[in-house]
Amino acid sequence: MPELPEVEVTKLGIAPHIEGKKIVRVQVRQPRLRRPVPSALAESLPDAHIVRIQRRAKYLLFDCDIGLMVIHLGMSGSLRILLPEHRPYPIAEKHDHIDWLFADGTLMRYRDPRRFGMVDWFCGAPEHYSLLQNQGVEPLEDAFQPHFLYTQCQRKKQAIKTVLMQGKIVVGVGNIYANEALFYAGIHPNKRACDLNLQDCTRLVKAIRNVLQAAIRMGGSSLKDFVHSDGSGGYFQQHYAVYGKANQACVQCARPIEKITIDARSSFFCAACQKG
DNA sequence: CTGTTCTCCTGTGGGC
DNA sequence: TGCCCACAGGAGAACA
């Protein structure tokens, strides 16, 4: 499922093909996503230009000259670009919900089998868009520092894994990378956030940055749903240290990886390497 | 404000 | 081979 690295890679993949281009037609076949696709999207976008694409948390922000298009890939969403030289384009398949056609013939296609994603339209600046309020800091930016994490964790009694995934302190860390980062930081996923000391937070900041940057470098990682933005067919699954490795030997101490449920989400950890 | 639970949806995989 | 069904999972919304 797309986490921050996949969203970032998607942004990098599609931006060169559509930035600065004029939209001539938007075709919405299935408006029933996580929230209904507003009819204003298909009505307003024709003749608009995509100025640039940005990412905030796991949201893709398409800065248009007349407003803001916001796309979240949810669990199984993907965007790909079909190039003019490959026309005629393949017929949209069952889960290809939205097409954007550009003046030069480029086509961007949104696919989302589970429909947990969203495509929204907002007339205003990104900082005023409701869903971007109350978001934590970007994990790969300077504001994400050990002391900042430590201070924020002090007033959280929930499990550190829960707090990471909430996105109130730091954004973009989903289930996979929360498991991985906590393993590399040597912190038990069920440890209360307020019980982390500054050293824990120092290791955790470093671990989060490392796993996210490594994933971006590899072109993103996924279980099975992610499709590379240029349509080349997705990536090989990244090698994980603990995620999905229940009962397999820990890469550090060979003890079996354990699996528990935290907030109805699968959590994997090594009881020897990760202290509560 | 904090913390918990519910909900959306469908492909996948295990059991028989 | 085919059928049934539990399950996974991001994150907003509703609720306590």
Per-residue pLDDT of chain A (276 residues; tens, 9 = 90+): 788 998 999 999 899 999 999 999 999 999 999 999 999 999 999 999 999 999 999 999 999 999 999 999 999 999 999 999 988 999 999 899 999 999 999 999 999 999 999 999 999 999 899 999 889 999 999 999 999 999 999 999 999 999 999 999 999 999 999 999 999 999 999 999 999 999 999 999 999 999 999 988 887 544 334 444 444 344 445 679 999 899 999 999 999 999 999 998 999 999 999 988
Catalytic residue (one of A191, A206, A209, A265): A265
Nucleotides of B under 7 A from a protein CB: 2-5, 7-12
Please state the pTM of the whole predicted model: 0.93
Instruction: Strand C: list protein residues with Cβ under 7 Å.
Output: A 1, 3, 34-35, 57-58, 72, 74-75, 114, 116, 130-131, 165, 167, 174-176, 223, 264-266
Question: Catalytic annotation on A58?
Answer: yes
Position A141 scores a pLDDT of: 96
Distance A266 CA to B11 C1' (A): 18
Determine the nucleotide nearest to A174 by Cα–C1' distance.
Answer: C10
> Cβ distance A139 to A212 under 8 Å?
yes
Position A220 scores a pLDDT of: 52
Position A225 scores a pLDDT of: 41
A116 touches strand B (CB under 7 A): yes
Position A219 scores a pLDDT of: 76
A156 touches strand B (CB under 7 A): yes
Position A252 scores a pLDDT of: 96
Helices A4-18 and A198-217: crossing angle in degrees, nearest 10, is: 40
Position A134 scores a pLDDT of: 85
User: Closest protein residue to B5 using CA and C1' atoms?
Assistant: A263
Position A226 scores a pLDDT of: 40
Catalytic residue (one of A58, A111, A156, A161): A58
